[in-house]
Structure formats: structure tokens, C-alpha cells
Amino acid sequence: MAGEATVINVAARTSLWLQPHRIVLILIALALVLGAAFFMRWDWLPQYYEMGLLGIWRSLWILAVTCFLGFLLAVPLGLAQAAGPFWFSAPAKAFCTVIRGTPLLIQLWLLYYGLGSLFPQYPWIRESWMWPYLRQAWPYGVLALTLSFAGYEGEVMRGAFAGVPKGQLEAARAFGMSRWKIFRRIWLPQAIYRALPTLTGETVLQLKSTPLVATISVIDIFAVSSKVRQDTYLTYEPLLLLALIYMAITGILVFAFSRIEARIPNKIG
Amino acid sequence: MKTVLKTFAAALLLGVAAMGVAKADPVKIGVAAEPYPPFASPDASGKWVGWEIDFIDAVCAEEKLECVITPVGWDGIIPALTTKKIDVIAASMSITDERKKTIDFSDKYYNTPTAIIGPKDQKFGATPDDLKGKIIGVQVSTVHAVYAKKHFGATAAEIKEYQTQDEANQDLAAGRVDAVQADSIALGEFLKSDQGKGCCDLKGMVAPDLEVLGPGVGAGIRKEDTELKDKINAGIKAIRANGKYEEISKKYFDFDIYGEDSQSN
């Protein structure tokens, strides 16, 4: 399949892609964009774009950091549930159940308004080097989102680890590989391959969980759009632009993950 | 079967008759859904009580308007007015030129000074120098947010904006902000609460700035509803004149919250 595609030259590919239904959809989208540009109020954009860019940057780094750290946590969580002894698997299972069973907003507020408001009672914390960080909002947002991602992805990784055929692991052992080597070369890579399609979905969901940090005074892109709404009393314009921004980020994420998935040999197991 | 049909028809007729009898729609008074004691907050049974509720009830009674209290989230209260979900905003909204671009206001019905509060164990005042390097918490899209940015923006470490006053107060108690700026009465109420008593005290009143802080609080009304605006203005005048305003205020405050009598806009 992939071999044929490279043979077709660029012009032919473009004409293949520009089918009638796609042209109609593009025209409709163009009409919507032009309509929005000419019939709505956008005079607030110059005043807020800098704040908006900063907001997008914050949303993106929060997404990247929490997904990365969350995934690092998810691997041991999944492994413990799939193959660990009882005293490993039970706490891991309990963690995933609690995280998946409670709304993220509650976890976030428990950390920020609950845990975070306990710290200042202790003078030694107030005087320590950690205090400038602990009094800010973003560490709580990052922690809550990381734990949430780890909870969901831990469950996915459990299934992925369990799904790698036993025969492969037995064959690796027969080759005389150590347990660590089996994990690193056989078990983990195949589990990640299996989990990848789900990982795309989880990352997109995580993107759409990030606006919750606006409720604890982190100025992400959602908070910026709320501010525009409250300052200018416009309802649709900032919300529509916000929706468009999230859609664009989602599009880029899905595209990036599909490229990664395409690199994986499709015959595994 | 016949009787059933008859009853049904009668009920239908009655319903139509009732609709005919009902007068014009009641005036929907929008209050901010976030509690703002002692001006407006829901009591244990969910009924809205407070100075502002008593005040607007008195105005409605004076002008023989049928009014219903409708809570609306503060951040969407002006769009709610312009899209006719409510007819009047009575939510301690300060009269500002920026807001006047979108909506109209009645005459002011109270005006209280703006205060700064902070942790008990620190000593400072309410001047830009006092607030140097401090994090100041304010409620988003209020005159206090604008004031803080204009007067303290240059010296303060950060002006942090919160969705509700409660969150700003909570973060002051938790040590995440060094000072909170808001209306003196609302802050006085917080300082009287258990949490406020424990952590914080009044640091001072900020210097006046008529351009930002405006003439005071007025009722928000749609620009085209001039008739309603006239009625509310007449109602405010009437209860000011006949002592009803004072009577209500005495229930909640031990001083005159109307402020200066000079401006009428």
C-alpha cells in the first residue's frame, strides 16, 4: 500500500484528494470563516493577542508535562496490575479506581484549596525554599492533571502489558535474556505499540481537561477567553475563537500521533 | 369518558382565562449567583436575603412593579441583561463608563469606600508604596481590578484576578496573596467570619479615584428601557425621601452607606 502511494506524483495526488464533497466542505468552511470575520466584533484582538499567545503556551506546556509525567507513572502502575504480586497490584488498582471514579475538578480543588491551604500553617514551610512554588497555583494544576492522566493510562497499560503474547516472553527467556532485558526489549515496546491508539485519545482528552486549571487562577487560554468575555461583554467571539484554537491543537496532536503510529510495524504478536 | 373530557376542557378554558388575566410579565431582577453578604446571599432555604434584596423589593413596592429575583453568574450578568434573560441588574454593580457603553444605569443607590486587607502579622497600609512587591488579589472585571492595575500595577509583584471574591479571600487566608482589595463592606463581612478573624485585618482605604471607582453602585438597565429606568429612579428617590431606605440600612449597617449626596447622573 505504502509503496504504491509514493509512485503517484504530486499533481495526481492533489486531484485525487480534491473530490467534490471535499470542495463543498472547504467552501462551507470558508463561508463560515468569512461570515464570522465580517459580521462579528474582533476589535479586541490587538489588545489581547499577546495574553492569548501566552495562554496557548501555558496550556500546551501543561499538556506536554502532565502527559509525559503521567505516562511515566502509568508504566509501573500498569505493570504492577498486570504482573505484580498482590501488595503491588492492590494499591495500583486502588489508585486507578479512585482517580477514575472521581471528577478531576474535585481532585484539583482538594489539592489546591484543601492541601494547599494547609501549608501556610507551618512556619518552616513558609520559610523554606519551596514556599515561592507552593504558593503558586500551577504546581497543583500540574500535579492533579498528572495523577489523572496516570490513573487512566495506568489502566490502559495494564491491558497492553497483559495483551503481549506469553509465547514471546517465553521465547525471550529461552534466549537467555535477563528479566530487565525482556522488559526493555520485548514487553514494554510491544505494550506501547498496543496502547498507542488509545494514547492518542487520552492525550486529546487531557488537552480538554486543561481548562480546569483556570478555576484555580492559572491563566491558560481558557482563562484568557473568559477575561475577554468579562471585559468586553461579548459572548460568541471569544468562545468561538477558543473552540477553534482547541480544535487546531487537537488536529495537530492527532496528526502527530498518526505519524508515530504509521512508523510501527503493523504485524505484531 | 365524557366527564373526563369535560374536566379537561374546563381546565383548558381556565388556563386560557388565567393567562388572559395575568398582567405584563414580572420584572426579572438579576442578582449575582455568587453570595455577596450582607448585600445578597441565599439563606438556608435558598431564599435570597440581604440589604440589596430588601432595597430592590422596597423600590418595586413603591413603583408597584411585580419583581422576581433571578440569580445569574456574575461573569455573564451583562450579556444576560442584553439578551433579556433579566430586566434589571441589582448586583452591587458599580457605574462605570466602560459598562455604560453596553448598558444604562439608574441613579446610584449606595457608595462605599474601597479597602485593602492583609495578614495580621504584617503591617502595611493602602498606598502604592505599601504594596510594593506584594501579590494583590481582586475579583475579575470589577472596578477594583481596574483600580489595582492602575494604581498598584507598577509597584506590586502581581495583580491576581479571581472569579469570585470568596476565592480571593480564601487565597489570602492560605497565604497565596499578600493583600486583597475590594469593597469595604464585603471585606468587613469576611473579616467578621471565623476564617477572616483568624488570619487577616483591615490595612486601610485606598485613595479615591472617581474616574475608575465611579459614582457608586446603580441598577443596570437595558438602554432602550427608559421607562423602567425612570420608574426605578423615582422609586429610589421615594424611599430615600420617606425613610424606608434608612430603615432597611439600619438593619444591616451602623453607618450611612449612601455616601455623598452630590452626584446624580
On whether any CB of chain A is under 8 Å from the CB of B163, the answer is yes
Q: Do B167 and A226 touch (CB under 8 A)?
A: no
- Which H helix or E strand runs over A145? helix A138-163
Instruction: Among A72-81, A236-245, B1-10, B217-226, name the one with the lowest average pLDDT.
Output: B1-10
The residue extents of the domains of chain A are 1-39, 46-262
Residues of chain B positioned with their CB less than 8 A from the CB of A119: 174-175
Residues of chain B positioned with their CB less than 8 A from the CB of A135: 174-176
Q: What torsion, rounded to 10 degrees, do the Cα atoms A166, A171, A176, A177 define?
A: -60
pLDDT < 50 regions, chain A:
1-2, 269
On whether any CB of chain A is under 8 Å from the CB of B78, the answer is yes
Assign B56 a pLDDT band (cuts: 50, 70, 90).
very high
Question: Which 3 state secondary structure label does DSSP give B178?
Answer: coil
pLDDT digits (tens, 9 = 90+) for A236-253: 899 999 999 999 999 999
Residues of chain A positioned with their CB less than 8 A from the CB of B81: none
One-letter amino acid of A136: Q
Closest CA in chain A for residue B168: A217
pLDDT digits (tens, 9 = 90+) for A177-221: 999 999 999 999 999 988 988 999 999 999 999 999 999 989 999
Q: How far off is chain A from B89, nearest CA to CA, in Å?
A: 14
Residues of chain A positioned with their CB less than 8 A from the CB of B167: 217
Q: B262 pLDDT exceeds 60?
A: no
Residues of chain B positioned with their CB less than 8 A from the CB of A231: 141
Closest CA in chain B for residue A231: B141
Q: Do A217 and B173 touch (CB under 8 A)?
A: no
pLDDT digits (tens, 9 = 90+) for B79-127: 999 999 999 999 999 898 888 989 999 999 998 889 999 999 888 988 9
Percentage of residues in chain B having pLDDT higher than 90: 54
Q: B265 pLDDT exceeds 50?
A: no
Segments in A165-235 forming alpha helices (H): 166-174, 179-182, 188-209, 221-232
On whether any CB of chain A is under 8 Å from the CB of B164, the answer is no
Instruction: Among A47-56, B17-26, B57-66, B69-78, name the one with the lowest average pLDDT.
Output: B17-26
State the pLDDT at residue A126.
80
**Domain B23-111+215-252 matches domain B114-212 at the CATH topology level:** yes
Q: Do A113 and B170 touch (CB under 8 A)?
A: yes
Q: How far off is chain B from A65, nearest CA to CA, in Å?
A: 23
State the pLDDT at residue B261.
61
Q: How far off is chain A from B173, nearest CA to CA, in Å?
A: 8
State the pLDDT at residue B2.
57
Q: How far off is chain B from A149, nearest CA to CA, in Å?
A: 26
Q: B201 pLDDT exceeds 70?
A: yes
On whether any CB of chain A is under 8 Å from the CB of B122, the answer is no
Q: B17 pLDDT exceeds 60?
A: no
Residues of chain B positioned with their CB less than 8 A from the CB of A116: 174, 176
Q: Do B140 and A226 touch (CB under 8 A)?
A: yes
Residues of chain B positioned with their CB less than 8 A from the CB of A117: 170, 173-174
State the pLDDT at residue A1.
46
Q: Do B163 and A215 touch (CB under 8 A)?
A: yes
Q: Do B141 and A227 touch (CB under 8 A)?
A: yes
CATH class, B23-111+215-252 region:
alpha beta
Which residues, in sequence order, are bridge partners of residue B29? B69, B88
On whether any CB of chain A is under 8 Å from the CB of B176, the answer is yes
The residue extents of the domains of chain B are 23-111+215-252, 114-212
Q: Report in angstroms the alpha-carbon separations of B216 from A237, A247, B92, B96.
A: 30, 43, 9, 9
Closest CA in chain A for residue B175: A120
Instruction: Among B75-79, B87-91, B133-137, name the one with the lowest average pLDDT.
Output: B75-79
State the pLDDT at residue B203.
92
What is the interface pTM, i.e. ipTM, of the complex?
A: 0.70
Enter the C-alpha cell of residue A267: 504485524
CATH class, A46-262 region:
mainly alpha
Q: How many inter-chain contacts (A to B, CB under 8 Å) are there?
A: 41
Residues in chain A: 269
Interface test with chain A among B176, B195, B199, by most A beta carbons within 10 Å: B176
CATH class, B114-212 region:
alpha beta
Which of B79, B171, B173 is nearest residue A235 as measured by Cβ atoms? B79
- The DSSP symbol for B201 reads E
State the pLDDT at residue B76.
87
Q: How far off is chain B from A211, nearest CA to CA, in Å?
A: 14
Closest CA in chain A for residue B79: A233
Give CB contacts under 8 A, 24+ apart, made by B93-100.
B93/B217, B93/B218, B93/B219, B93/B220, B94/B142, B94/B143, B94/B213, B94/B214, B94/B216, B94/B217, B94/B218, B95/B214, B95/B215, B95/B216, B95/B217, B95/B218, B95/B265, B96/B143, B96/B146, B96/B212, B96/B214, B97/B214, B99/B220
State the pLDDT at residue B37.
82
Residues of chain A positioned with their CB less than 8 A from the CB of B175: 119-120, 126, 135
Closest CA in chain A for residue B81: A233
